[in-house]
Every structure is written in structure tokens, then in C-alpha cells.
Amino acid sequence: MNKAVTFEATPNPATMKFLLHKKVSDQGFDCPTAGDTERSPLAAKIFGFPWTGSVYIGTDFITVTKQDWVEWELLAHPLSNLIQDHINRDEPIVAEIVHLAEEYNSDDSEIVRNIKSVLNREIRPVVALDGGDIVFHKFENNTLFIQMKGACSGCPSSQVTLKEGVEVRMKELFKEIHEVLAV
């Protein structure tokens, strides 16, 4: 029997983090809309509820963002049970792993490889604690562009995380970076 799925609040009041207590993928999978769930039967199931805003499947957690018109007090336990039932039936969570931009490419410049390494090693694990993810998008004209996913997407404190956390650290490590922006 699997350990029960548990949940915890995130800094984003619209998003709840559901802890799966087992690794389900090697990298995150973002489903910002119901149309993006073709690779995740569980995300498609969650989008079957009209209150679902977005779903993010992390390596060992799922974050679900709800619409404003419903409260987590009504949703968290039933949703936790739905996720647990899905896992207990050995139904796939992510059918096919998506290869995201934070992977290393042979044509990446040295600075891009180093930026991706720091994001993967230092930034992403910290952000994942709150049910989010930060993914490299591009580095251009001394500006680092990243995507904020999961609980970070739409979070009231995401701008603080971006500017006072990620940007400060990246500028500290890389003199080439003048600014960090979310796309």
C-alpha cells in the first residue's frame, strides 16, 4: 500500500501542494490548461472539475491551482483522495516525460550551461519546496528569461522570489546577467 497523499498550503493562496511520497517523474510537467493534459491522465482527471485553474506535476508532488470562487477547505481532502485512488490503481500520472528547456543542449554556450546548472542545483530545489518550479527559457542581451510554473505561476509573492531571490543570486554568480525576467 502506498503512503497516503498529503497536502500543504503554498505561498500562492490559490495553489495547494499534494505530496505523493514517491518519485513520479524525472522532471516537471506543466498543464496550465485542460488542453495541455494529453500526457497526464491524472491532470486530465483533475481538469474534469470546473474549479481547476492549472495543474503542475513535479518530481514527487502535484500542485493544483483553483479558481477563486471555491475554497480549499472544500477541495483539499477530496482531491487528495482522488489522487490517492489514481495512484492505488497504478494509473499513469505522466504517460510520457516532456523534455523541458532546462536540459543541457550541445549547442549551449558555456554561460548558458552554467546558468542552467545553478538553476537546477540551487534554485529549483528551493522553489519546489513551495510546490513551484523555475525553468530556463533563454539568455539574451544580458537578460535571463525564466518560466515560473506550478505554485509560482500567478503567486502574489512570485515577483519577490524572482527579483529578491533568483535575480540577486544569479547576478551574484554571473556578472553577465543584468536582469532576470519571467516570461
pLDDT tens digits along 28-68 = 888 998 888 878 889 989 998 889 999 999 989 999 999 99
Residues near 112 by beta carbon (within 8 Å), at least 6 away in sequence: 136, 139
Is residue 133 domain-resident? yes
Which H helix or E strand runs over 9? strand 6-9
115-147, pLDDT tens digit by residue?
988 888 888 888 888 888 888 999 999 999 999
The model's pTM is: 0.68
SS (H, E, C) 109-138: CHHHHHHHHHHHHHHHHHHHCCCEEEEEEE
Is position 126 within any domain?
yes
Q: What would the pLDDT profile of 147-175 be if each residue is shown by its tens digit?
A: 999 888 888 888 888 898 899 989 988 99
d(CA 53, CA 60): 20
Question: For residue 1, is it within any domain?
Answer: no
CA distance 63 to 149: 10
Find the mean pLDDT for residues 10-28.
91
Range of the domain at 33: 6-88
What CATH code is carried by the domain that includes residue 18? 3.30.1370.70
